[in-house]
Amino acid sequence: MNRTLSLLLILTLLSLYPTLSQTLQPIPITVGPSPTYINGFFSFTKNDYKLIVTTLGIDANFNGIEDSGDVKPALYQISLNKILTGNYQGDMLTELEFASLPFPTRIYVDNSGNFAYVPSKLSLKKILLETGNIISTINPFKNLELPEDAIITSVYLMDNLIFLTVHGTEFDKLYIIDENTNQILVDTNTDPYPIQTIVAGKYLFILTEGTFGQNNSKLWVYEIDNTQGLYLNYAKEFDIGDGGNHIFNYQNNKLLITMNGSHEILILDIPNLQIEDTIKTPTTGFDGPRESNVVGDNAIVVSAYDGNLYTFDFNGNQLSKISLNSKLEGIFSYSLNPVLNYYIVAVTSPFLLDYSPNDKVYLFVNFSNVEESSLQTKVKLYPNPSRDYISLKFEEIYADILHLSIVNVMGQTVKEYQFKFAGDGIKVPVDDLPIGSYAVHISYDGKNFAIPFSIIR
């Protein structure tokens, strides 16, 4: 199951089932200027989806000093439940120090959604997501002399170990920090501009961007040995082309490497440390792909600076292109229920096509069953969103017995009916259900399919 969170809306849904046969409209959610990083989780205590978004703010004259008209970076939260009430505005959790984040930024949000670890130039803020309060500041470099322009470019956590990449003038480093003691356990040089590091399986991966326009981006791989202390054993080095921008770990089995300058998505087999496939994107010039993620088991979704959200299968065949008319950056998908294949996809847009600041996160939701059926197009559900009832109108469905159930996002059946079917329509009350996203699951004669809908008040 992919980890991350979601948002779905009211007036519009995008169906991102792996076959991508049904496409509606995105949900634009307003946050602060220049959103980049995005992640999320399901809050069991609030029974709500939460998206966590980092915004870079505005430095209007690019002088690195906060002036009139500038906007600080911030951490935002988006609530699915709030969206379903008609409020499409994210909530600021906390402001951050001016000009304290690199572009793009790679913060870390833990799997349970308790904490975010956010860079602040050369320190790290540990933020409680429930309140937005900064509960600690981690500063392992306070006694070191680093270049004046050095800045933390990415954060990753494994147990109590913090993996940091740092970039400055002729200064490119990976550090591993003990969170409990602030002690630097590993200090090693990297190639130019380390932009992201993650742990997948037994390996540590370090992606370096290199110099844009030159084929000097690299992926370094180390095997982690912490049986007696902490050691990094060199495993492999990949020359991967131009403009490495993002890596995504899929089930500790595959690594997706998004190459902004080379206009490619590389698929690396993690157990064998071999690049097994290359997906060419239709982007060109400075409008290359930015990040990639996996939807379901067979679709790769890719953000790009040409204003489009692309999907491909693992063989490189393009499945869809969704135009959002703004430059797209951070992306995630979340698979909530493996039986119903309920997918949420979100993508950030830091800039409009002319590079002026944008303030939008675009959200897409699908609620579908494992086996999509062409019969789904034979059923119309309205109104959607619904308040008191839903009506189902059937075309060319003939069955003595029709089973119908309404399922929530947790995969729980909240209503169930069995009809001796006659006629072409059914009206089902939903006025006793809370606001939220659901699916009507229909089965007859051994056939099964589902239709997503939402309830508002």
pLDDT (tens digit per residue) in 384-403: 888 899 998 877 665 667 78
Question: Is residue 38 helix, strand or coil?
Answer: strand
Say which residue the tokens 């609530």 belong to.
79
The confidence band for 11, taking pLDDT boundaries of 50, 70 and 90, is very low
Mean pLDDT, residues 223-243: 92
> Percent of the chain having pLDDT more than 90?
59
The domain ranges of the chain are 27-367, 374-455
Does residue 209 register a pLDDT over 50?
yes
Q: So what's the pLDDT on residue 18?
A: 32
Indicate the range of 161-170, 176-185, 331-340, 445-454 predicted with least confidence: 331-340
| Amino acid, res. 277 | D
The residue type of 10 is I
Q: What percent of the chain lies above the pLDDT cut of 70?
A: 87
Q: Whole-angstrom Cα distance, residue 78 to residue 85? A: 13
What is the pLDDT averaged over residues 246-267?
96
Q: How far apart are CA 247 and CA 208, in angstroms?
A: 10
279, 292 in Cβ contact below 8 A? no
Q: What is the per-residue DSSP string for 387-411? A: SSEEEEEESS---SEEEEEEEETTS
What is the rounded CA–CA span in Å between residue 86 and residue 89? 9
pLDDT at 14 over 90: no
pLDDT above 50 (res 356): yes
| The predicted structure's pLDDT at residue 219 | 98
Residue 158 has pLDDT above 90, yes or no: yes
At 302-314, the pLDDT tens digits run 999 999 999 999 9
pLDDT, residue 58, reads: 94
Distance of alpha carbon 393 from alpha carbon 424, whole angstroms? 6
Tokens of 253: 């089995």
Q: Rounded mean pLDDT of 420-429? A: 77
Architecture of domain 27-367: 7 Propeller (2.130)
From the CB of residue 260, how many other CB atoms can be counted at a distance below 10 Å?
A: 25
pLDDT recorded at residue 20? 33
**Cβ neighbours of residue 411 under 8 Å, at least 6 residues apart?**
336, 337, 339, 340, 342
Give the distance from CA 271 to its chain's centroid: 24
What is the domain class of 374-455 according to CATH? mainly beta
Across 83-97, 176-190, 256-270, 354-368, least confident range: 354-368
Residue 213 has what pLDDT?
A: 85
Q: What is the pLDDT of residues 64-83, one digit of tens each?
A: 889 888 999 999 999 877 87
pLDDT score, position 341: 57
For residues 250-259, give the mean pLDDT: 95
Whether 369 shows a pLDDT value over 70: the answer reads no
